[in-house]
């Protein structure tokens, strides 16, 4: 089974609008961490936001927030007030409490339309 | 302030000619990872070091080797690059195992094989 599933290969959003990128995960560990990364065409992997499995509050970092629904095993990224510079590939990822692995989803390509 | 540095940023190599990519870190992290990322795909873990302990992924080709002479440096050696090895190579570090947020990527080396 896939550890991380991103079902939206591509998304479009109007500039200044909010957008939600979906991510579901699969783990039997009680301790895990969820990450979102942005990867522009230059290729570097830019850290956006982190949510620990024991964190009770949803994580927020500026215009990014993570909608963490533990029972549904979902960790959707919400980008508010989209900007043209947000156009990029977005990856959801997970680390489990045991082991060294870092699991990536297949990514969502976001295009912001002026 | 750069914490995980990959050199060079772009590398062109000839088919069959050995090439080495380097990664250095100033974070004193125990774990160093190498990922291969082909166009429009998620990063794929090749191997990682936990301190000096080398961990190879089962499906990593023998053509790929790695060295970690000290805590700060890790090298990826491709013994006989083929056209299919053209990709972005990402180095990442982590303080330790587990679900914590401390996971840092370098800016990557984009390898072209001619």
Predicted local distance difference test score (pLDDT) of residue B2: 60
CA distance B3 to A46: 13
Residues of A in contact with B92 (CB under 8 A): 45, 102
What is the rounded (10 degree) CA torsion for B50, A2, B4, B91?
A: 80
Distance from CA of A111 to the nearest CA of B (A): 15
Per-residue pLDDT tens over the stretch B74-90: 999 999 999 999 999 99
Please identify every stretch of chain A with a pLDDT value under 50, giving residue numbers as ranges. Answer: none
> Phi and psi of A84, rounded to 5°?
-60, -35
Predicted local distance difference test score (pLDDT) of residue B23: 97
CA distance B88 to B33: 14
Distance from CA of A59 to the nearest CA of B (A): 12
Residues B29-51, mean pLDDT to the nearest whole number: 93
Predicted local distance difference test score (pLDDT) of residue A61: 95
pLDDT tier, B109 (very low <50, low <70, confident <90, very high otherwise): very high
Per-residue pLDDT tens over the stretch B56-78: 988 999 999 999 999 999 999 99
CA distance B39 to B52: 31
Residues of B in contact with A98 (CB under 8 A): 97-98
Predicted local distance difference test score (pLDDT) of residue B101: 78
pLDDT tier, B1 (very low <50, low <70, confident <90, very high otherwise): low
């Amino acid at each position: 089974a896939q550890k991380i599933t991103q079902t939206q290969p591509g998304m479009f959003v109007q500039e200044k609008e909010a957008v939600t990128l979906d991510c579901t995960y699969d783990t039997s560990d009680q301790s895990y961490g969820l990450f979102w990364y942005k990867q522009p065409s230059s290729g570097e992997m830019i850290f956006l936001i982190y949510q620990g499995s024991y964190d009770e509050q949803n994580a927020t970092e500026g215009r990014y927030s993570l909608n963490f629904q533990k029972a549904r095993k979902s960790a959707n990224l919400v980008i508010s007030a989209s900007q043209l510079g947000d156009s990029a590939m977005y990856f959801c990822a997970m680390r489990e409490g045991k082991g060294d692995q870092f699991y990536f989803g297949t990514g969502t390509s976001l295009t912001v339309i002026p | 302030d750069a914490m995980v540095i990959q050199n060079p940023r772009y590398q062109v190599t000839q088919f069959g000619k050995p090439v080495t990519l380097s990664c250095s870190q100033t974070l004193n992290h125990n774990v160093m990872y190498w990922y291969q990322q082909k166009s429009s795909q998620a990063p794929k873990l090749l191997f990682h070091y936990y301190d000096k302990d080398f961990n190879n992924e089962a499906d990593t080709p023998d053509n790929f080797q790695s060295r970690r002479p000290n805590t700060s440096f890790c090298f990826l050696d491709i013994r006989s690059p083929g056209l299919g090895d053209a990709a972005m190579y990402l180095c990442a570090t982590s303080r330790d195992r587990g679900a914590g947020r401390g996971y840092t990527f370098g800016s990557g080396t984009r390898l072209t094989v001619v």
